[in-house]
Structures are given as structure tokens and as C-alpha cells.
Structure 1
Amino acid sequence: MTDIITMLIDAPSAETLRAARPQARDNAQEAFEALVEGEILPPGVGYDLALIVARSAGVDKAVEFYADLAVEEPAVENPALRAARQWAWQLATRPASANALDVADLARQGWTPDQVVAMAQLIGFVAFQVRVIHGLRVLAGASDSEGSGEPAVEPTFTVPTYPGMHRPAHFVAHSLGWRPWVPPAENLTEEQRAALIKPEREKSEYFRLLARDPRALRARTLTDLDIFYNTEGGLGRAERELAATVASRLNGCVYCASVHAGRAIQESQREADIHRLLDEGVAADLGSPQWNALRDAARALTNTPVSFDSGHVAALRAVGFGDLAVVDAINSTAFFQWANRLMLGLGEPELPRRFR
């Protein structure tokens, strides 16, 4: 199985860098095949939307790759595709601006719930994929440049809205609820249950929503587990959660930031530093040279277009992080480009009763 990320890194050390986290490598490729080349979306749409996301990040290798595929298999031009392109650009460049009206417009243009979930997964996945490509090209010495992109019918289903819902007013480190704008799957098939990996996730509206595309969900989950829980060398758990929190804070994902801020506190016991990040933003002093270097790297890789370069790698090395730790920092940050866009594009956070 050809690994697209390894191919597009296009450096002698690419295979070695990717082999450090083999489950993440293999399941990211599985996600590419399930989402970009899958059968839920009409022919050519996956390549078309992937090209939009790659252009937004300014990762030239990925832009060239997806542009060639989009020419080979063009999507049919129609109002539905134009609505999907607009949503893809919004989620790629300004994910925190997504709202239920955007999803309602997709429904009016004829996109089904399964297709909306597949598009959100695809947009998030490519945002992850291109940042891994860019970050590892910089680490391998194959690139020292920043991203070159520029920032910035009858409905098929009824979009749920929650007019009386209590929404969080700011970033927090405690647990939050989450309510979907697309109906989750009701009665899961055996394939959908298996894709959850953890049976208890069947109670979660979010995971039942993603189960509409079980192949993509399974690949995404296994990628996640290898990136965040394979602790054989490399970056510590707390630092991986820190990278996730920085990305989520910058992307404006209140829900993801709450989950991973809590985990970073649990793993590090550095509550004051994490709260400073949540309260002040991604320029906050995080209390140590190591964490500040990670903050800067995660912020640069999250930027659209990306601004991560060899200076960030040098800064990470200067405070004691080896190349495997840098790989983990890149993977952890890049993965939350995927996670944030799913959470922001498909629903919204809810403040639990005990915190109102």
C-alpha cells in the first residue's frame, strides 16, 4: 500500500520518520482511501474538496497532487458542489465560524446526512494530512518555506437547532457536552459498532454521527490512538495533549480545548500554565522553555497557511526534543486540524447543568 504522506514528503528520511508511528501511518492512508477515494461522495468531489483544503494551507506538494487528481476525475459542476466548496473553504480557513445555517444550506442543496459527515471527515483529514506532510518535510530538511496559500432543492434532512441551549461563553478546562447539527445514526450496524473501537462510544452522539462512514471512523480512531497513546520514546503524553490544546485554542474549538486541556492538566499537574493558555490565548507564557517551544511549533503548524519552518524544529531541538518527539509534536498538532473541523463543522458545545 503506497503511503501518500510518505510519497509527498519526498525526502530520503521520509520512510524512517513515518515508520516511527506505523499505526498512524497505515491508518492515515486507510483514511485517505476511505474519504478522498471513497464511494459516499459523487465521483471527483473528494479530489475537488481536498484541493481546496490543500490550497488553503499552502502546501505545494499536496496542491500539485490533488490538482492532478481533480483534472483526471473532475466533479460535476452544479449548485450542490459550489455549496460544498464554500463549506470546505470555511472549515479549512475559519473553522470557528461554522454554524448550523451552513449545514442547512448543504441539506437544501441535496447533500444527505451521510455525505455531510463524509465531507466534514474529508476536510478535517486533509487539514491533518497536509500539515503532517509540511511538518515532516521541514524536519527532513526538504523544505524551509512557510505555506504559500491565501487565508481566508428541498432539504434532504432537517438540521437540529437548540435555541434554549446553554453554550459556554469562554474556553474552559472542565467537561462539556456537544450537540450535533446532523442526525446521528440510530440503529448501528455491526460494521458501525466495530468502527467505534470502544463499545462505550455507542452512547455518544458524536461517535454515532461519525459512524455514518464506518471505514473512515475506524481509520481515524486508530490514527488517533497511535498518535496520542504510543509512548515508546518520543514526546510525553502531557506534551501531546498540550499540542492538541494549542491547536484547539487557535482554531476556536471550545469543546476540543476543554477535553485536552483537562488531559494536559491531568498528565502534567501544571494547571496554572494550561489555564493561562485558555485565558490568554496562544501567545501565553506556558512556564518553561520546552512548553513555549511546543506552543510556538503547534501555533505555526495550525496557522492557515502554515508557517512552521526549520526555525521551529531548531527551537524544539534546542530545548531537548529529539526527532521522534518532533514527529509526535507534528502528528499531534496536525491531528487536531481534523478533530477541530469535525467538532466545529458538525455541531456545537453545550454547558453541562452543573457548570451553569
Structure 2
Amino acid sequence: MEQRRFSGKSHWYHETQARTCHADVQPLVPEAARVNDRFLLDLVVPDDVLHAHHAWLTVARHAGDHLLPDTVTPSRLATLTAYDRLSTALTVAQVSGVQRLCNHYAARLAPLPGPDSSRESNRRLAQITQYARQLASSPTLIDARARIQLAEVGLTDADRVTFNQIVGFIGFQARVIAVLQALNGQPARWLPGIDIQQDAPVERFAAAAPQWQPDIPLPAPGYLRPEQTQALAEAQRIEAMQPLAEGLVGDEAALSLLSALVEALYQGPDAALVALISARINGSSDCFARMTRAISDAALSDAVRNGERALLAWSHNHPRERVLIQAAQALTRSPDRFSAAHLQPVSDVDVTRDVLLRLLGLTALCGWLNRLKIGLGSAPSGQTAASSG
């Protein structure tokens, strides 16, 4: 999978066809692979910010190390290689448009040997790349057929869980970095060819209470290892993790880390609001339904469901919520364009910096949860297609 830079693009692309010669391929920014902090990628952040958010940032670092290790030993049940994982990470980084992220994963991917050049390997890599790009940029394109296609190219159930976790994690990482770059006052650098994510169609939210179910086999309780049983019990204590926990327990370490992030970030009276905005844009109708039950103002939920014009009308008399909504929307739709201009209005309505950073971190995390719901399951067959996800 050869990295190359197109004239006028200023960011990384990679081929989906395997290459046979690896020796001369070098990343554009080779030093980007050598960072001390693989989550923030050595971004300079004020010490007081790092101290205030140390707990969840530490969990995020561990999650990155677990999902994207330097070496991976594939097995019959877990076939994703280090190359597969980093290739997926680079694809999602490209979709996000955050240059620091693109440089890092391109630099880590470049020296790795790619798959052989057989038709089967190329088809598998092309399918993985397409799925990752769609889930990252337009989650509503992922449906049952897209999930079946992953199995058709050889991904196991365990692979699918890991694969969707990686897509979600990189989107989360991109948005956290975008927020901290904006906090530093760094200008947003728009990359040519990166489109703003479009909101999911309103039809997905027509059902009053969609019921989501995973479409991967759930482990029988008697076959869980003690550490899996513990991770599952801890996750099921957290409301936002309850529907996902059983499907993710095959990788108990990743489940525990995700649960810890949710527990650390899902705090405060505005948490449900930003989670609702994320679910509406990304198209996770189950997450949306759960958040509407957590919000007492039915008019707000209806406004978010009905789209931008209705939401603007509702927010006219709610200035504090309006600026939070606008910041969450901007971060969810286009992290590459998120800038200090999105942070300033929030400080004008008496939201502290630490509260804001936690809310935006939660916004980024909700995108991860939304994509897990869309990538790993749907509504039961008895419900309408509008309720899937």
C-alpha cells in the first residue's frame, strides 16, 4: 500500500493495491512516527490542562497502544495484522483531515510489509479500506450488506470488533487533537478534497424507540474467562455501555478501556445534549433514542431530530445551549476545520475551559460509540429500516 502525495493535495493518500517492493518507500515526515505520546502526538498542551484531564487522557493512550501495537501475531480467530490496523488508522486519519494524525500513521505504516499481491489479498484490503472510509466519513452508508462483505473477505467476528474499535478510536483521537490545537490558537488548515460530513437523514429517527441488537455472536456466560466476566460487569454498570458490552467482551482489555473513558467523560448536565447532537449527525438512532430519554426538554429533542432549521429556532431563546450545540456540531462534522473561533463563544456564556474540554472530549467519544452501534449491529428485522443503527 504505497503512500504518495498528489500535487496540490498536501496530505497523504494510500493505494488499496498491495505492492511487491517495500525497501525504498519512505513517509513524507518519517519523524512523525517517533513521538513520546502516541495519543496527542507530542502536541504542546498547557500543563494545567494536562493535569486537569490526566485521568481520561491516560486511558486514551492505553487504548491506542492496545488497538494499534507495533507488532501483532495473527491467529485463526484474529487475522488482522499490524499492517491492516495501521492502514485502517491512516484511512480514518485521512477522512478526518487532521494533518498531524495523517503524518503519524503514514510514518508508522510505511516500513511495514504489506500483504501479498494476490487477487484475494487486494480484494480484502480494498474492502477494508472502503468500509473504514465509509464508517468514518458517512456512517449511514454502513448497513447489513457492508458488514457481510467484511466476512466475505475473511474477517472473523473478533476482527470485526477490533476493526470497528480502531475506526472509532481514530475518529476520537482526531477530534481530541483538533480541540487541543484550537485551544492553542493554532489556525485550522483545511485540506483540499476533505468534505464536511453531512447529517444523517431524518428518516433514521422516525421510530419512537428503536431497539438495537448486535449482529455478532454473543459469548455464552459460562465460557467467559474471569477477566472477561469482570470487564463485562464493570461495563454493564455504565448505562451508555450496556447495549454494547456483550458484543465487545471478546477483547476485554479494549472493553475496559472504553468503559473507563465513558465513565470519565460522561459527566455534567450538558453531557446528554452533546451526545444527542453526535448521534443525530452520525445516524445512530439507538443512541439518539437513549439520549432523548435523558433530556427533559422534549422540544429540544424534537428540534434536534427535525434538523438545522428547527434547532436554530429552538436555540434562539437558549444562548448557552446554542453555543454548545454549535461547537459539538462543528467538531463532529469537520474536525479539520475546528478552530479557536468555535471555542470563544462558549467562554462568553460562562462555561469554564475544563468543562468545555470535557464536553468536547465526550463529543469525540460519542462518535466512537455511534460508529460501534452502526458497525456491529442494527434494529431487529421486525422494525423499520429507519430505526437501524
Aligned residue pairs total: 326
**1:11 aligned onto 2:64:** no
In the other structure, the counterpart of 1:258 is: 289
Counterparts in 2 of 1:157-172, with a 5 A limit?
170-171=204-205
**1:110 aligned onto 2:154:** yes
In the other structure, the counterpart of 1:294 is: 324
Report the CA distance between 1:6 and its aligned residue.
3.1
Which has the higher Rg, Structure 1 or Structure 2? 2
Per-residue Cα deviation, 1:264-320 (whole angstroms, up to 9, x for no partner): x1xxx3232222112234861334111111111111111146432111111111222
Report the CA distance between 1:28 and its aligned residue.
0.8
Report the CA distance between 1:5 and its aligned residue.
2.9
CA distance in 2, matches of 1:282, 1:178: 28
CA gap 1:22/1:50 in 2 versus in 1, 3 angstroms: same
Report the CA distance between 1:200 and its aligned residue.
6.1
In the other structure, the counterpart of 1:275 is: 302
CA distance in 1, matches of 2:130, 2:341: 34
**1:208 aligned onto 2:252:** no
* Helix, strand or coil at the partner of 1:73: coil
**1:177 aligned onto 2:188:** no
CA gap 1:253/1:33 in 2 versus in 1, 3 angstroms: same
Report the CA distance between 1:208 and its aligned residue.
1.3
CA gap 1:193/1:48 in 2 versus in 1, 3 angstroms: same
Mapped contact 1:44–1:75 kept (Cα < 8 A) = yes
Question: How does the TM-score come out when normalised to structure 1?
Answer: 0.83
CA gap 1:282/1:59 in 2 versus in 1, 3 angstroms: farther
Mapped contact 1:21–1:226 kept (Cα < 8 A) = no
CA gap 1:141/1:278 in 2 versus in 1, 3 angstroms: same
Q: Which of the pair has the greater relative contact order for Cα pairs under 8 Å at 6+ separation?
A: 1
Counterparts in 2 of 1:48-127, with a 5 A limit?
48-76=87-115, 78=121, 79-127=123-171
CA gap 1:146/1:289 in 2 versus in 1, 3 angstroms: farther
Mapped contact 1:300–1:306 kept (Cα < 8 A) = no
* Helix, strand or coil at the partner of 2:373: helix
Mapped contact 2:38–2:61 kept (Cα < 8 A) = yes
Percent of residue pairs identical? 26
In the other structure, the counterpart of 1:332 is: 362
CA gap 1:94/1:103 in 2 versus in 1, 3 angstroms: same
**1:27 aligned onto 2:59:** yes
CA gap 1:257/1:205 in 2 versus in 1, 3 angstroms: closer
In the other structure, the counterpart of 2:15 is: none
Mapped contact 1:45–1:74 kept (Cα < 8 A) = no
Mapped contact 1:56–1:150 kept (Cα < 8 A) = yes
CA distance in 2, matches of 1:64, 1:94: 23
Bigger CA drift: 90-99 or 66-75?
66-75
Per-residue Cα deviation, 1:244-279 (whole angstroms, up to 9, x for no partner): 11111011111111112322x1xxx32322221122
* Helix, strand or coil at the partner of 1:284: helix
Instruction: Mark the runs of 5 or more structure 2 residues left unpaired by the alignment.
Output: 1-34, 73-77, 197-201
CA distance in 2, matches of 1:139, 1:148: 23
CA gap 1:25/1:111 in 2 versus in 1, 3 angstroms: same
Report the CA distance between 1:90 and its aligned residue.
0.7
Question: How does the TM-score come out when normalised to structure 2?
Answer: 0.76
Per-residue Cα deviation, 1:308-350 (whole angstroms, up to 9, x for no partner): 2111111111222221122112201100111111011111135
Of the candidates 199, 206, 230, which is equivalent to residue 194 of structure 1? 230
